[in-house]
Structure 1
Amino acid sequence: MPTSEARLSGREAEGSDGETELARSGTPISDGNGARIGPNSLIQTGQALAALFGEETARMIFDRAGIGHRYANPPGTMLDEREPQRLFAMLCDTLSDQDATHVLAEAGHRTGHYLLANRIPKPARRLLPHLPTAVSSRLLVLAISAHAWTFAGSGRFSAEVRAWRQPVIHLAIKNNPLATPGCPWHGAVFERLFGTLTATQVSVLHPRCQAKGNDCCEWTITAATGSLRRA
């Protein structure tokens, strides 16, 4: 944790000037259209931060993002996408690249676990892993597409599954409001869902990333063998 500690110790709380500071992180703030997004983007990130770096650091980063009240009182409903957007940007700006990736990936896995336990109907959880991968992948893509606004906000989500014998899943978000370098949060969510419900381990690649200058964020998901690194 030394690299993150160096960054943490050298900053003052930004308060109302948070968006000016966030511009230096390379993550643009949305234009205020008020698009809504799921609360787990905040809740699970706060829990991951506290688990990996302690509650003091977690509270500080929430405060610097201008959403300190959300740490003490996690949201229970959909929220403005600019809140997790500011949190993700401040997290990337405060921690080292490696630590920020670790936190966001852990938050993504926690989000995926929450969705599996609370948002995927039990019949679907039981049935999908027993179907051929090509079928379960297509059904899961349909379900994700129907609820894409809960994680894509104002972004435009698209998805397709190619081939049947060895299916390849392509997911993309145009104007992704939560884009961060490598998008570890999204990748971990997708890995958790597809790796659990399609009855196979999966490899999640991120060939295009908006936070790295590409025109959109894109993921390619395929079946994998052996142990996997987290997204």
Structure 2
Amino acid sequence: MSSNMILPIHEVLETYAGAEERDRIFQEAGLKFLPSPQDPVRERLVAQLHQGIRRDLPEIWRDIMVTAGEKAAQVVLDYRLDASARDLLRRLPWSLATWMLVRTTTQSAWTFSGSGDFRVLRTSMLEISNNPVTRSETSDVPVCLFQQTVLENVFARAVDIRLRCQETQCCAAGGESCRFELSMA
């Protein structure tokens, strides 16, 4: 998976929990060294980090994942979707622009879904079956807040600020897949 699945968390975790707690959580996840931004990361390590934060910081994990997801989305926009492409997308009808961005997202889905099966059910409905971030985890509610936030911010900033993304089904909460639905607010 992309190092963008962990590097923003490293930065944000220090703000929310302190450097000592951040280092402990990263060590327990098996992340002794930070990868460079262009290096891939074993999905097992990404999953252990995400799950460790949810387990060890139950009161603030949501805030951590939203803030880190916003930072990760900015990295995607800065390095994978240049300003001219974003300008073009904003000029198109939002449904066509969304379709085009979904096609682009599919080509780099490994960065946020790893060995999970990323599929486009329709332009506004994306899913990851066998999501490595939720493997062997159980929850009463969807837990893929990081992935949801990245998707929402990339689509909202690249296409239309009114676009929202909601995880409507989650493997950890008993769903067959982690399903993300885009809608216009």
TM superposition score normalised by structure 1: 0.73
Q: What is the aligned-residue identity percentage?
A: 27
Match of 1:38 in 2: 2
Match of 2:164 in 1: 203
Residues 163-216 of structure 1, C-alpha deviations (whole Å, 9 max, x = no match): xxxxxx101000010137431001100110111111231222221101111111
Residues 12-39 of structure 1, C-alpha deviations (whole Å, 9 max, x = no match): xxxxxxxxxxxxxxxxxxxxxxxxx100
Of residues 73, 85, 105, the one that matches 2:47 is 85
Q: Does 1:107 align with 2:68?
A: yes
Letter in 1 for 2:21: T
Letter in 2 for 1:154: S
Q: Offset of 1:44 from its aligned partner?
A: 0.9
Distance in 2 between residues matched to 1:134 and 1:200, nearest whole Å = 13
Q: Does 1:220 align with 2:167?
A: no
Residues 72-114 of structure 1, C-alpha deviations (whole Å, 9 max, x = no match): x655411211111111111111111x41111112111110011
Letter in 2 for 1:102: D
Distance in 1 between residues matched to 2:30 and 2:109, nearest whole Å = 26
4+ residue segments displaced more than 2 Å = 73-76, 179-182
Paired positions, count: 179
Of residues 19, 28, 35, the one that matches 1:55 is 19
Distance in 2 between residues matched to 1:183 and 1:147, nearest whole Å = 18
TM superposition score normalised by structure 2: 0.90
* Cα distance change on mapping 1:122 and 1:197 into 2, 3 Å: same
Bigger shift: 135-144 or 48-57?
A: 48-57
Which residues of structure 2 form unaligned runs of 5+?
none
* Contact 1:152–1:173, Cα closer than 8 Å, also in 2: yes
Of residues 81, 88, 95, the one that matches 2:57 is 95
Please give the root-mean-square deviation of Cα atoms over the aligned residues, in Å. 1.6
Which residues of structure 1 form unaligned runs of 5+?
1-36, 163-168, 225-231
Distance in 2 between residues matched to 1:205 and 1:125, nearest whole Å = 22
Q: Offset of 1:142 from its aligned partner?
A: 0.3
Distance in 2 between residues matched to 1:206 and 1:103, nearest whole Å = 17
* Contact 1:141–1:160, Cα closer than 8 Å, also in 2: no
